[in-house]
Structure 1
Amino acid sequence: MKKTNLVAIAVFAACSAGSALAVDFNGYARAGTGISGNGDGDVSFMKQGVGRLGNENDNYYEFGFAEQLQTGAQAWDLEAMLAKGDEGQVGWESDNAINVAQFYVKAKGLFASDPDAVLWAGKRYYQRKDVHITDFYFLNNSGTGGGIENVSIGEQKLSLALVQDGENDNASGYIFDARLANIGLWEDANLELVAAYNFSTEKDEKDEVADDGVFLTAIVHQNLDIGFNQTVLQYGTGGYGDQLAGFGSGAWYPRGLDANNDASGYRIINWGVISLGDAWEVGHQLSYHHGSDLNNGMSDSNMYTVVVRPMYKWNDSMRTIMEAGYFSREQDGVDDQGGHKFTLAQGWAMGNSFWARPEIRVYGSYITDEEGTTFGAKGDSDFVAGIQLEVWF
């Protein structure tokens, strides 16, 4: 049986069972095509640094299913998700594997002293944090494991989890993740603190050369009458230091390598979405990233990004979207990186919110790689025009 058929079968089975089991079907997808000046079709260049609008060259799909197994004093829920990506170049693409991205059970109401606490185990997207307009997951300790979350400590909520994080010939890696959320600050503002410790267990008569790493995050979330704003402060050591110098999410710790055992890094991110009157909404990302003693202590790194996405709403379904982005990175002993992008898109969405989806957009993007040869012999810049769908439900 072809792998692609598995998705269709799963969707059919879930929908067929819906009337009897009340299965909730949810998901996300993006798909589109483009024509670029260098003949490569769609173009994607450093979207975490310059923005993702009109700057994606793949299709991606998630099909999620949720079933409430029991309600009452105890609530047991099963959640599952299949995910797949492809290049979108032909109508039938069956070579890429389908991933079981999530399959876990969570239970609420098990503890009389704290009925809101949730126990969970399985494979899960674990409380991920991202900036949507750049597809930048700045915290993503997802994987297979288990834990307890939403434990009440006064007005705050504590979550603890253990997640497996890779394996090589010498060791198995794990992440211990601790979070304290809902820490009140000033009016309409709260703080969340996250500490992740990445460690390994060595196999018999084997040595793991990569040191353990610590990843600390503080997120200040400010609700506004016209939207919201988040400021994120992050610090990491070892392999996490190297990740924070770039766009690392905290996943895929570099085991088997000792090049960054002495490294450290930090980054500051500010992002949000606000309304400017009835017709305008604006999303933005500002970030600064610094790494020290990277690559066996041979180099330091500095990078910053600026991305702005204003949107003008003509009516409840039609909008014009612009996005401008710029990033620059300098690292000792490594060629400088830099680039910018400008995109103009006409979109139609099911609603007039910045977040309204499905959205069909027709776009044109001018993208420049200031330091490299991303666009081949044609030069350092390229123009791409295309059409794309994005939907979540």
Structure 2
Amino acid sequence: MRISVMSAAVCCALFSPSYVFADGQSVEQRLAQLEQRLSMAEQRTAEAEKRAVKAEEQVATLSQQAQATDKKVETVSQKQQKNALADGFEFNAYARSGLLINNHGKGGRGGPGVSPASSLNGDAHVGRLGNEEDNYIELSFGKRMTFDDGSWAHFKTMIADGATNPDPWVQDNDSHHINVRQMYVEMGNFPEFSGPVQNAYLWAGKRFDRDNFDIHFTDSDIMFLGGTGAGIYDVQWTNNLKGDYSLYGRNFGDLGSSHYEDNDIQNLMLTANHFYGNWQLMLTGMTAQGNDELKDNTSTTGSYALRSDNIAQNGYYAMLAYHDKQQFYGLTKGVSETALQFGGGLGAEARQPGSDGDLTDNAISLRFASYGILPVAKNWEIAPSVIAQHSEDRYRDGDRYDWASFNVRASQALSPHFALLYEASWQYMDLDPNGRTYRSDGEVNQYQAVKGDFYKLTFAPTFKVGNVFDIKARPEIRLFATWMNWDKELDRYAINDDFGSKGFTAGGTWNFGVQTEIWF
């Protein structure tokens, strides 16, 4: 009881407004200080809560960034693995396929080499638009490799197949098989090389020469050199003069389709190509030892023609060419390429030097080829071309073959994916085989001397993707109508060629069809 009375007295004294502590402060002052400290504590607590929330947000952000980084690292790793597999891999292709129907509803005849002049180892081609019945494909695969010392290697192979049969499956293996048209290796950037060969590179294998060029619109090579061998490219003699040098060996006939299979006789061709600015000078010497010893009269080019008695086993060839990828014959913006070619003996085959083993010792040929691409207006391009050749003593002493082919392809773009194509061809022929003979149905016949003209007109509505204003852009899908005619005299040239065959005689014929073409 005494303690309770004393506690009550103390409390009354402490909370009495008049009570004063030992330090001189009143109760009111002490309460005010306590309230101030509580307020500050609350403020610090609020700030601590804000910092905690902010820390949580930063932790969440860092977690998201870490996850994104992990995903990015994983994606980069996947890409690196994918690139490691595809690094340096190359794939290119060319293909055409179409249906050709004549005005009688039957399979149409045609082809760029349809005329009698084209029997001269495929030299004299006409326009190919609306004039192809074959299915042809080239698939090229390659691999580029670079090594630690900076040297590099490039492997390339090409497989090809072609057929005129429109069936979905062709089983005639005697005439239909896949060809390995190219298979070679290039290598360069050798530290050991210096001087003119410092930036040169070597190659060996089976290939088309890098310096070949053609007229696409007639499917005619201006220059086609090829076979199996070796060479060195890009020898830099001066700032403006460089050279390419090669040795090729090949049998006669077109690559992949040579009728002549005797590997004991090969045409060996040593070629020097020199370039000075836009100019090119090509010189080739060739020899085919034993070619003149074949006595069975078998043609080396796959034709039915019989060989003469003075077959060549040596030859020479020269070409002077001018390439301008910027101008149309120096007149305006465009493209133009021109070549003047001369050959003798085995070199008298000007389109594919070294491919015709039936040429005589005295054979000579003079050939001129040129084409250009000219943008005429906003939506028009025109591509004219000409090839003309004179040859004499070609397959028989005293023979003479003169011909000239003119072709014009025009493209009119009507929309981003649609164009109208037009093509006109004219070919003049004056052919005098001078008694050259061939076999047909077991009998020996003579080629007839003929003179005359061939004409072709084609109209082709065309769908395409890419640059519709580029006359050489592909792929394309074309519908076409083609009219062809020729002088009746040309039907007499040979009984086993197209002209004069059943349903394909002078007087005019129509072909209709559809074709696709692509390259990349």
Could you say what secondary structure the match of 1:44 adopts?
Answer: coil
For the 8 Å contact 1:30–1:390, the answer to whether it is kept is: yes
User: Number of paired residues?
Assistant: 363
Q: Is the 8 A contact 2:125 2:219 kept in 1?
A: no
- Alpha-carbon distance in structure 1 between the residues aligned to 2:104 and 2:235: 54
Q: 1: distance between equivalents of 2:244 and 2:98?
A: 38
Check the 8 A contact 1:341/1:368 in 2, yes or no.
Answer: yes
The question of 1:122 aligning with 2:194 is answered no
2:339 is equivalent to residue 232 of structure 1? yes
Instruction: Give distance in 1, aligned partners of 2:479 and 2:424.
Output: 16
Match of 1:338 among 437, 453, 464: 453
Q: Which letter does structure 2 place at the counterpart of 1:341? A: K
Where does 1:248-267 land on structure 2 (aligned, <5 Å)?
248-254=351-357, 257=358, 260-267=360-367
- Which of residues 92, 101, 110 is equivalent to 1:44? 110
Distance 2:335 2:294 in 1: 49
The verdict on how the C-alpha distance between 1:80 and 1:295 changes in structure 2, with shifts beyond 3 A counting, is closer
- Mapped pair 1:74 → 2:176: no
**1:206/1:18 CA distance change after superposition, 3 Å:** farther
Q: CA deviation at 1:331?
A: 2.3
1:198 equivalent to 2:276? Answer no
Between the aligned partners of 2:424 and 2:294, the Cα distance in structure 1 is 49
> CA 1:315 to 1:109, structure 2 compared with 1: closer, same or farther past 3 Å?
same
CA distance in 2, matches of 1:97, 1:19: 34
Cα distance 1:178–1:59, how it changes in 2: closer, same or farther (>3 A)? Answer: same
Return the TM-score normalized by structure 1. 0.86
The Cα shift of 1:337 comes to 5.0
Hey, what does 1:89 align to over in structure 2?
166
- CA–CA distance in structure 1, aligned partners of residues 217 and 202 of structure 2: 32
Aligned amino acid, residue 85 of structure 2? A
State the Cα distance separating 1:228 from its structure 2 match: 1.2
Amino acid at match of 2:143: E
Deviations 1:23-77 (A, max 9, x none): 2111100001121125542431444532000111101001111101225621111
Aligned to 1:212: 314
Displacement of 1:269 in angstroms is 1.4
- Aligned match of 1:106: 186
How far apart, in 2, do the equivalents of 1:295 and 1:201 lie? 18
CA deviations on 1:340-380 (whole Å, 9 max, x unpaired) are 10000011112221111111111010012322234524632
Q: Among all aligned residue pairs of Structure 1 and Structure 2, give the percentage whose two residues are the same amino acid.
A: 25
Q: Is the contact between residue 345 and residue 363 of structure 1 (CA under 8 Å) also seen in structure 2?
A: yes
Matches of 2:158 and 2:263 in 1, distance apart? 30
Pair 1:392-2:519 in alignment: yes
- AA paired with 1:20? L
CA distance in 1 between counterparts of 2:477 and 2:294 reads 53
Cα distance change of structure 1 residues 294 and 173 upon mapping to structure 2, 3 Å threshold: closer
Q: Is the 8 A contact 1:38 1:375 kept in 2?
A: no
Q: Following TM superposition, by how much is the alpha carbon of 1:93 offset from its aligned partner in structure 2, in angstroms?
A: 1.9
Q: Which residue matches 1:161?
A: 246
> Deviations along 1:239-267, whole A, 9 cap, x unmatched?
332x34xxx4224231xx4x621111101
The counterpart of 1:321, out of the listed 417, 421, 443, is 421
- The alpha-carbon distance between structure 1 residues 253 and 377, as it changes in their structure 2 partners (threshold 3 A), is closer
Residue 303 (structure 1) aligns with: 403
Distance 1:383 1:18, change over 3 A: farther
* Alignment correspondent of 1:12: none
Compare the two structures and name the one with the higher strand fraction: 1
Do 1:49 and 1:306's aligned partners in 2 also have CA atoms closer than 8 Å? no
Change in CA separation of 1:148 and 1:305 when aligned onto 2, cut-off 3 Å: same
- The alignment status of 1:30 with 2:96, answered yes or no, reads yes
Give the deviation of 1:323 after TM superposition. Answer: 0.3
CA contact (8 A) 1:375 1:382 kept: no
Q: Within the alignment, does 1:58 sit opposite 2:134 as a pair?
A: yes
Deviation at 1:226, TM superposition (A): 2.1
Counterpart residue identity of residue 90, structure 2: D
Residue 268 of structure 2 aligns with an amino acid whose one-letter code is Y
Find 1:176's aligned residue among 270, 278, 282.
270
Q: Which has the higher helix share?
A: 2
**C-alpha distance 265-18 of structure 1, shift in aligned 2 (>3 A):** farther
Question: Where do 5+ consecutive residues of structure 2 fail to align?
Answer: 1-81, 114-123, 252-260, 296-309, 435-448, 492-498
Matches within 5 A, 1:123-138: 123-127=206-210, 128-138=212-222
2:99 partner letter: T
* 1:274 lines up with 2:374 in the alignment: yes
Aligned residue for 1:298, secondary structure, equals coil
Which protein has the larger Cα radius of gyration, Structure 1 or Structure 2?
2
Map 1:329-368 to 2 at 5 A: 329-332=429-432, 333=434, 334-336=449-451, 338-350=453-465, 351-352=467-468, 353-368=470-485
Mark the CA change 1:42 to 1:64 in structure 2 (over 3 Å): closer, same or farther.
farther
Deviations 1:290-315 (A, max 9, x none): 11223332222211111001110112
Q: What CA distance in whole angstroms lies between the structure 2 residues aligned with 1:122 and 1:283?
A: 35
Q: Secondary structure at 2:85's aligned position in 1?
A: helix
Which sits farther off after the overlay, 109-118 or 210-219? 109-118
Shift in alpha-carbon separation, 1:202–1:230, aligned structure 2, 3 A: same
- Show the counterpart of 1:187: none
The aligned residue for residue 30 of structure 2 is none
Match of 1:289 in 2: 389
Distance in 1 between the 2:108 and 2:376 partners? 32
Paired AA for residue 273 in structure 2: R
Structure 1: distance between partners of 2:152 and 2:373: 34
